Amino acid sequence: MRLIIILIAALWGIFAVLALVRTRDKSLEAKLTAGYIVVWPALVVILLINEPVPMWIAVPTMFGFIPWFMAGPHLWSILKDPSSAQPDEIIGIPRAYWIWGGLAAILLGLLFS
């Protein structure tokens, strides 16, 4: 099962790198979104290879799947219409959610480790 997950993440990473290349001349928001789509699968593969991982690292990484999953449609909308990016959002998610969600995920990982 671990190999299947690594294979899926690797294939997604290849397509994400292609998306990153397509955003060379696009806005910073498009570049950040494409970069996040590239970085998350690489991080997951690294965590799967290096098991066991402390919970305070693993939990925020797994919660990072939700914005990663939503990043594809956001990137597509930014590529189609660059003006659709909101100023207080990072890859389509408000900055406050990133801050509080990240802190909560780290605290949750510390609590369960």
Distance of CA 16 to the CA centre of its chain: 11
Q: How far is residue 88's CA from residue 29's CA, in Å, rounded to a whole number? A: 11
Sign of CA dihedral 99, 100, 103, 104: negative
pLDDT of residue 103: 85
pLDDT of residue 75: 75
pLDDT of residue 1: 65
pLDDT tens for 52-98 read 878 777 778 777 777 777 777 877 777 777 777 778 877 777 788 87
Alpha carbon distances (Å) from 93 to 13, 62, 68, 74: 21, 17, 10, 9
pLDDT tens for 33-57 read 888 878 877 777 787 777 787 877 7
Is residue 107 very low, low, confident or very high in pLDDT (cuts 50, 70, 90)? confident
Query: What are φ and ψ of residue 96, in 5° steps?
Result: -65, -40
- The answer to whether residue 13 scores a pLDDT higher than 80 is no
| Helix/strand/coil percentages in the chain, nearest 5 | 80, 5, 20
Nearest residue to 91 (alpha-carbon basis) of 5, 8, 6, 23: 23
- The answer to whether residue 18 scores a pLDDT higher than 80 is yes
